[in-house]
Amino acid sequence: MSGSDQHLHDLTRPPSAAAYLAEAWRRREFAVLVPAQDLRAQNMSTVLGQFWHIVNPALLVGVYFLIFGVVIDTSRGVENFLGFLIIGVVLFHLTQRVVQDAAVCISRNLGLIRSVQFPRILLPAAAVNGQTAAFLPALLLALISVLATGERPTLRWLVLPAVLAAQFMFNLGAALVVARIGALIADLQQLLPHFFRLVFYASGVIFSVEAFVSSPGWRRAFALNPVYDVLSCARWCLLGEPVDVWTVAGLLVWSIVLPVIGFRVFLRSEQRLGA
């Protein structure tokens, strides 16, 4: 091999994971500024504007409380059902919105992908950042509402940021996996709402698993559901609801393992996305 050939690089060869992450970090402003601009543009043509980020979850909580707390009465085993419901609805819909946004982040940005060379991982990362930023007003409303139901801050509240950080990491891993699948299967966007209806009822959003599920084996099976793990740990923090070691372990495992898997899946096909 001649000396000049030694300096040639194969542009079709995927970069190493470390080099790819370093390049993504160097351009990290994209994953922050773009969702910030999108967030400001959302609902600008409506009367309430940005207040819809608070109004929407408040309306959902009101509807669910009327149906499941008053009409059907699924509040069995829960002392503060309204606070229980608020935490469940707000945190569940954060993960749902992240995943649904990530499913279309590649197809929505095909023009950008085909015209500019940049780490594509920034697109699902932007989806996670944007939906998380939109979630913050609802989180503030949830905390105020929990206080209004009679709860008072305890030392457990200090653990909530760790639970939310674990949810963020799980959401990031899920976004990477779904972005890859969404780039291959355009119908994924239509399937996800039906999938999340199942997840909604399998996560204890509107009922206490401890009160309605008597089998210890089935209760332990719920810990395999990462959304249930997030909700249970958050309710332990804010309401003092019971949580077992399997649920905590499930949340830790999901928040560590899924981002790693998602990154490997995304990186393996990164150069083919949008092609």
Mean per-residue pLDDT of the chain: 84
* Cβ atoms of 267 and 121 closer than 8 Å: yes
pTM, 2 dp = 0.85
Give residue 50's pLDDT band: very low, low, confident or very high (50, 70, 90): low
d(CA 35, CA 44): 15
Helix intervals (H) in the chain: 17-26, 30-41, 52-64, 81-103, 110-115, 122-148, 160-184, 188-202, 209-212, 216-222, 226-239, 245-268
**Residues above pLDDT 90, as percent of the chain:** 45
Q: What is the pLDDT of residue 218?
A: 80
Tokens 């206080």 belong to 147
Q: What is the pLDDT of residue 103?
A: 94
Contact criterion met (CB below 8 Å) for 205 and 89:
yes
Q: Between 213 and 233, where is the model more confident?
A: 233
Cβ pair 176, 124 in contact under 8 A: yes
Q: So where are the chain's domains?
A: 27-35+50-272
How far apart, in whole angstroms, are the C-alpha atoms of residue 104 and residue 108? 6
Tell me the pLDDT band of 241, cut-offs 50, 70 and 90. very high
Max mean pLDDT among 55-64, 99-108, 112-121, 263-272 falls in: 99-108
Number of Cβ within a 10 Å radius of residue 78: 19
Distance CA 164, CA 161 (A): 5
* Structure token pair of residue 189: 């966007």
Compute the half-sphere exposure of residue 124: CA atoms within 13 Å on the CB side of its CA: 30
How high is the pLDDT of residue 200? 93
